[in-house]
Structure 1
Amino acid sequence: MITSNGYVLEENERRLGLLEPVPDGERHDRNALWARLRRDGYLYLKGHLSPETVNGFRGYYFQSLDGANVTEPGTDPGLGISTPEAVDRASMREALFGTVVPGPEYQQLCEHPAIADWFAWFLEDDVHLHRRKIIRHTKPGEAGIGTATQAHYDLVYLREGSDKVLSMWIPLGDCPLERGGLAYLENSHHWVMAQEREGTLQRPAVSITADLPGLADTHNTRWLVTDYEAGDVVVHSAHIVHASTDNVDPANKLRLSTDIRYQRKTEPIDWRWQEHWNFDDGL
């Protein structure tokens, strides 16, 4: 059973489908990738990064949070085994926002040649990585409103810059369905762009809803999900609606992921995203 914020997603062919990976024959064809991105709103690039790169960072991340009672004492931090005890949120935030987010290890991951050089190639220009980069983990068993990322599209949070900014979502470690990965609302970028042009979408920045099955019913479409593997990434437009599902992993492993944003340097840049992510930065 797949849930998000406690809502159960309908598991039938009208409401649930699989993300379509970019075929090997298109991986180095810029025109084919652009056609796919315009059509689907996302590019699912399997094995884009080495598993060693993402799993190494996964180990560093949970090791950095040692003392905040996030992982089970005595276990390999890279496994991300959740502890049943209460998390020390003050210690966790101190480590996350004081060490991990502004640290060189995170920056090196986000500027990895397979990422930065790929965006420069794809966009055919000098590129800018937004300094505000979000990294989060999700504990197994958490459910209810606010525990998973609600349905939204990125542009509502980036209105001071270009609408051509691209996001990359990176699962940091294997992320099978039960661990709660990212889900995309099929073809939603088309109606979002239409309503953006008409000026009929809600402002200011706000999530659309926590009710993923209800949103799929409203637009008569499907949520697209998959079993992500370490090294997979998804590049998506600023207009496609996406959300995360709940972590119900029976192995009790934490989901860890990051989302980063690149754009052409020649496009307007949202100034609010040029400081490190912080718990109370208001975005």
Structure 2
Amino acid sequence: MLTSNGYVLDEAPHRLGDLEPVPAAERSDRDALWQRLRREGYLYLTDHLDPDVVHAFRRYYFERLMDTGLVRRDSDPLEGLQGDGELDRGLLRERLFHEIVPSAQYQAFCALPQIKDWFAWLLEDEVHLHRRKIIRHTRPGEKGIGTATQAHYDLVYLRGGTDRVLSAWIPLGDTPVSRGGLTYLERSHHRVLAEEASGRLQAPAASITADLPGLAEEYDSRWLTADYRAGDIVVHSAHIVHAATDNVDEGDVMRLSTDIRYQRSSEPIDWRWQEHWHDRDGL
């Protein structure tokens, strides 16, 4: 049973489907990628990164948080097994926001040539990586409103710059559907673009809803999911609606992922996104 924030998703074929990976024949064809991105709203690039590099950063992340109680004692940090004792939330926040987020390791990962150079190739320009980069872990068993990322599209949080910013969601380790990866509302960007153009969606930054099954009915669309592997990356439009599902992994493995944003350096940049991410930064 697939859930998000406690809501049970409708698994009927007209409400739930699979993300379509970019075929090998299109991977080096810039025009084909743009056609796909405009049509589907996302590019699912399997095996885009070296899994060893992804795993090395995953190990670094959980290793730095071992003594917070987040990770199971005496386990391999790479596994990301959730701790079974008390969580020191103050220490966790200190390590996350003052050590990991601004770290050279995180910056280097997000600016890997396979990422930065790829965006420069796709955009045919010098590119800018937004300094506000988000990294999240989700523990198995967390559910209810606010535990998983609610349905939204990125532009509502990026009003101060170009609307042609592109996001990259990167699973930091294998993330099967049961572990709570990202899910996309199929071709929802077409409706969002139309409503943005009409001025009907000029609202303050906010999620749309936690009710994913209800939104699929409203849009008469499907939520698309995938069994992500370390090395996969999803590049998506700032207009496509997406959310996360709940982590129900039976092996106590935490989901870890990061989402980052690239754009052409020559286009307007939202200044609010040029500070390190903090969960109290108001965005």
TM-score class normalised by the smaller sequence: over 0.9
AA at the equivalent of 2:49: L
Whole-angstrom distance in 1 between the partners of 2:245 and 2:98: 28
The alignment status of 1:33 with 2:33, answered yes or no, reads yes
Residue 222 of structure 1 is matched in structure 2 by 222
The residue matched to 1:193 in structure 2 has which SS?
Answer: helix
Structure 1 counterpart of 2:272: 272
Output the CA distance in 2 between the equivalents of 1:88 and 1:148: 21
2:67 partner SS: coil
| Aligned-partner SS, 2:268 | coil
1:98 and 2:137 are equivalent in the alignment:
no
Cα drift, residue 279 of structure 1: 2.2
Identity value in percent: 65
Gaps of 5+ in 1: none
Which string of whole-angstrom CA distances, capped at 9 and with x for unpartnered residues, describes residues 216-274 of structure 1? 00111000001000000000000000000000001110000000000000110000000
Measure, in 2, the Cα distance between the counterparts of 1:166 and 1:22: 17
Partners of 2:50 and 2:150 lie apart in 1 by 29
Q: TM-score, with normalisation over the residues of structure 2?
A: 0.99
- Once the two structures are TM-superposed, the CA of residue 202 in structure 1 deviates from its matched residue by 5.3
1:141-160 correspondence to structure 2 within 5 Å: 141-160=141-160
After superposition, the C-alpha distances for 1:87-144 in whole angstroms (9 at most, x for unaligned) are 2111011000111000000000000000000000000000000000000100000000
RMSD of aligned alpha carbons = 0.6
Letter aligned with residue 194 of structure 1:
A
What does residue 261 of structure 2 align with?
Answer: 261
**Deviation by residue 1:39-75 (Cα, 9 ceiling, x = unmatched):** 0000000000011011110000001112111110000
Q: Distance in 2 between matches of 1:59 and 1:84?
A: 19
Number of paired residues? 283
The CA distance in 1 between the partners of 2:182 and 2:84, in whole Å, is: 24
Partner Cα separation in structure 2 for residue 153 and residue 87 of structure 1: 32
Q: What does 1:155-174 align with in structure 2 at a 5 Å threshold?
A: 155-174=155-174
Q: Tell me the equivalent position of 2:89.
A: 89
The 3-state SS of whatever aligns with 1:282 is coil
Matches of 2:132 and 2:33, distance apart in 1: 26
User: Which residue of the partner structure matches residue 54 of structure 1?
Assistant: 54
Whether 1:7 and 2:18 are equivalent positions in the alignment is no
**Following TM superposition, where does structure 1 have runs of at least 4 consecutive aligned residues deviating by more than 4 angstroms?**
none
Q: Secondary structure at the match of 2:66?
A: coil
